[in-house]
Amino acid sequence: MTSKYKNFQISNYIIIAFLVLSTLALNYILISKFGFNQEVFIPITSGLVLVSLLLYRYLSKSLFDDFFKTDKDLDSMIKKTLHELNTPVATIDMNIKMIEKNITNEKDKRRIQRIKDSCENLLELYNKTEYELSNTIDTIEHTTFDIKEIIQKSCDKVEDIKKDITIINNTQSELITTDRYGLEIVIDNLISNGIKYNNKNGSIIIDNKNHILSIKDTGIGINTKHLLQIYDKYFQINIEHKGIGLGLSVVKDFCEKNKITIKIDSKENVGTTFLLDYHSLLSGK
């Protein structure tokens, strides 16, 4: 907890305590003067509560404005800084494409490709940094898009790393409204896990019947005793696989924030199915 947040809480508690004590004192004085009966007590108490609420709103306004101004300033600074970081990367990418047109030597082509890959990694890092910072201060924009498009994009990303795993994408077009990049991270994590914990020549089947996204793999499955732990940060079922165990924690946080019901059906040596009920994201709801 930051010192600024502590100061905010303390100041808010002081205002509340002052108003409560003042209201009780005035209530006691007025009832002592006019006598205690139902006809007097209710109007006096109701009036004092209303006045207290108005005073609280007035006294706390500057406190809240100052507290939330920091978030606005931080958001503005982040956007400006990230824009400045993005500009040179975009310039490099543009010039690479121009140079690439005039290269015929295979060795030089491979070098240019490595530069392009590094540039794409920087752009991806830029996007992730922008998203994480925006998510921290709760300034994520929700947009409307086709769920099939974003799932296909996630499938294309793993084309070079899936090796002997077959990915069958049966998703149908459907417009949803949510945090696009956040959902992309969720899908990336679930497909990545489906590849990582799959068996040789295994498969991943993706579909979205009745507004429920299903990602099913034919992998090693999850032991029943681990089912309640898989969403914990840093928890890993198999430490032999690379990673730090944040993937499913990120998935759960996104689903909770966006009112997506997530369920898991898994059997050892059979496979795992993740079910995401996204009724709450349907466009127009």
The predicted pLDDT at position 273 comes to 96
Q: Say what the pLDDT of residue 97 is.
A: 79
Rounded-to-integer distance, Cα 34 and Cα 28, Å: 10
How many of the other CB atoms lie within 10 Å of CB of 221?
Answer: 19
Q: 3-class SS at 211?
A: helix
Q: How many residues does the chain have?
A: 285
pLDDT of residue 1: 47
State the pLDDT at residue 59: 67
Residues 206/193, Cβ–Cβ less than 8 Å: no
Report the alpha-carbon distance of residue 124 to residue 139 in Å, rounded. 19
Amino acid at residue number 64: F
Reading the block at residue 231, the tokens are 């969403």
Q: What is the pTM of this model?
A: 0.59
Three-state secondary structure call for residue 172 = coil
Q: What are the structural domain ranges in the chain?
A: 1-139, 143-281
Q: State how beta strands 203-207 and 166-169 pair.
A: parallel
**Which mean pLDDT values do the consecutive 10-residue runs of the chain (285 residues) have?**
59 72 74 66 71 73 63 65 68 78 83 81 74 67 92 90 92 94 91 91 95 95 80 61 59 90 92 95 75
One-character DSSP codes across 253-277: HHHHHTT-EEEEEEETTTEEEEEEE
Q: CATH 3.30.565.10: does it fit domain 143-281?
A: yes
pLDDT score, position 92 = 77
Element (H, E) at 212: strand 212-217
